[in-house]
Chain A
Amino acid sequence: MNIPLNIDWQQILLHLFNFSILAGGLYLLLYRPVKDFMRKREEYYQSMDEQARQDRASAQALQQEYQARLAGVGAEIAQRRADAQKELDQYRAQQMDAAQQEAGEIVPQARANARREREKLLSSASQELADLAVTATEKVVLTSQGDPYEAFLNLAEKGVSSHDNAQ
């Protein structure tokens, strides 16, 4: 078939064959390696960017956390102070209770002791008086040359005065 412009199917196919070799070769030798490298570099910078973004986010979170902590420190101090005061008050109340209880135990015991001492003193004084009276009587009776009754009284007065001085 006579095609205008000397178009030749065989030569078109030869051109196609030639171009297919060129396209395949360029793809394998140039296009794909260069694109692979560009993709690798892009991934590298993207990972760097992602890492920087994560670091920034964590730093911001840390900053917020510390700011929140800083803001809560005043309240925490007040709370702790209140707790300490409360504890101190409780301790003081306990000490007061214990002291009162101890005082409540000590006073009656002291009173009882004092009463016992007094009774003891009274009984010992009575005994002494009795002994003194007996001794004086015996002396009067044994050594009396005048009126015994008169001598007894004089002796009794002496004995009382000497006892008072001794006390």
Chain B
Amino acid sequence: MDKSKRNRFLVGWICITALLLAGSLLLSSSAGHDETIQTAMQDAVLHEENQVSLFGLLPVNPGLISGFVVTGVLLAAAALIRLFVIPKFQYVPGKLQILLEQWVGLFDNMARSSSPWRCGFLGPYLFAAGTYIFCGTIFELFGLQAITTAGRSITLPAPLSDVNGAIMLGVLSYLVILSGAIAGNGLRGIPSALTEISLLLSMSFRLFGALLSGLLVTELVYYYITLSFVLPVVVGVLFTLLHAVIQAYVLTMLTSLFYGEMSEPKKRSGRQKHRSPARRPKTRLVKSV
């Protein structure tokens, strides 16, 4: 690109940006809000007002609708991949094959390394949970709209920013860990799993808090028109991507570590209270993330 072309591009770009800014500022007064920021943020947490009807049967939180949409999209994508991509897999993989193998291999290796003695169920669970958290968190970037029972238009949030979704995944992960303890050590494994009962709360509310904080910040940023330039690129896209990766990794890592620790066959000679010194600090470290 020569100098004159570059100058013309710069002038055009600045003009368009200035026009957009002016239009946004002029239109902001007429757009208005029918709820205050306090109400909007409180509702993002509690969902007392903005609920969405589930097939006309009952009003539910928007996060549940997001969950169904994410599940539908993921299953459709998986079916397409199963039908059109996997049959063409080669021993020397292409780019998409590498991506899929890495995606599956990441959770499979996580399960194998954390619980080498029992990982048949753990791998698929981690894969599903990690995929759900990652894609569910990314989902809020697309800004799909839904109509609430009060007739408002809202953007569908991440499924796990709904406290019910976060509790479901946290409790389910704990139950998976408990099942590993029972499968590995029978009824003797239950007490050791019960000592980690705090995982129920920590896993549930870690997810909820992390994703909700992202939602609240985004809500806050988009509420004010003056914050809607440049800043969303950081808080909307980058933070969401970071959230998606970190939360998917943390929950699956915690689940796999605790599952491996609980399902490890223990000898009867009082080894139940003894834990491997190499493993214990690792789980504590991850818990603190």
Residues of A within 8 A of B (CB): 5-8, 10-12, 14-16, 18-19, 21-23, 25-27, 29-35, 37-38, 41, 44
* Chain B residue at minimal CB-CB distance from A8: B164
Residues of chain A contacted by B74 (CB below 8 angstroms): 22, 25-26
- The answer for the CA separation of A5 and B75 in the assembled complex, in Å, is 31
Which A-B residue pairs are the 7 nearest by beta carbons? A23-B128, A29-B78, A15-B168, A11-B164, A22-B71, A34-B104, A29-B82
Of B81, B165, B169, which one neighbours A30 at CB under 8 angstroms?
Answer: B81
Q: List 23 A-B contacts (CB under 8 A).
A: A6-B46, A11-B164, A15-B165, A15-B169, A16-B168, A16-B172, A19-B71, A19-B132, A19-B169, A22-B70, A22-B128, A22-B131, A23-B129, A26-B75, A26-B78, A26-B131, A27-B127, A27-B128, A29-B78, A30-B78, A31-B128, A34-B100, A35-B104
Q: Say how far B183's CB is from chain A's closest CB, in angstroms.
A: 18
- The answer for the CA separation of A7 and B164 in the assembled complex, in Å, is 6
* Chain A residue at minimal CB-CB distance from B124: A27
User: Max chain B CB contacts within 10 Å: which of A12, A16, A38?
Assistant: A12
- The answer for the CA separation of A18 and B54 in the assembled complex, in Å, is 13
- The answer for the CA separation of A23 and B169 in the assembled complex, in Å, is 12
- The answer for the CA separation of A15 and B71 in the assembled complex, in Å, is 11
* Chain B residue at minimal CB-CB distance from A37: B89
Asked whether A34 lies within 8 Å of B165 as measured between CB atoms, the reply is no
Asked whether A23 lies within 8 Å of B125 as measured between CB atoms, the reply is yes
- The answer for the CA separation of A26 and B127 in the assembled complex, in Å, is 8
Asked whether B108 lies within 8 Å of A35 as measured between CB atoms, the reply is yes
Residues of chain A contacted by B86 (CB below 8 angstroms): 33-34, 37
Residues of chain A contacted by B100 (CB below 8 angstroms): 30, 34
Stretch at the interface among B16-24, B61-69, B234-242, B250-258: B61-69
Asked whether B124 lies within 8 Å of A23 as measured between CB atoms, the reply is yes
- The answer for the CA separation of A138 and B81 in the assembled complex, in Å, is 153
Residues of chain A contacted by B128 (CB below 8 angstroms): 19, 22-23, 26-27, 31
- The answer for the CA separation of A38 and B124 in the assembled complex, in Å, is 15
Q: Say how far A8's CB is from chain B's closest CB, in angstroms.
A: 6
Asked whether A5 lies within 8 Å of B163 as measured between CB atoms, the reply is yes
- The answer for the CA separation of A44 and B90 in the assembled complex, in Å, is 12
Q: Say how far B60's CB is from chain A's closest CB, in angstroms.
A: 6
Residues of chain B contacted by A14 (CB below 8 angstroms): 54, 60, 64, 164
Known: A34-B86, A38-B105. A22 touches B168 (CB 8 A): no
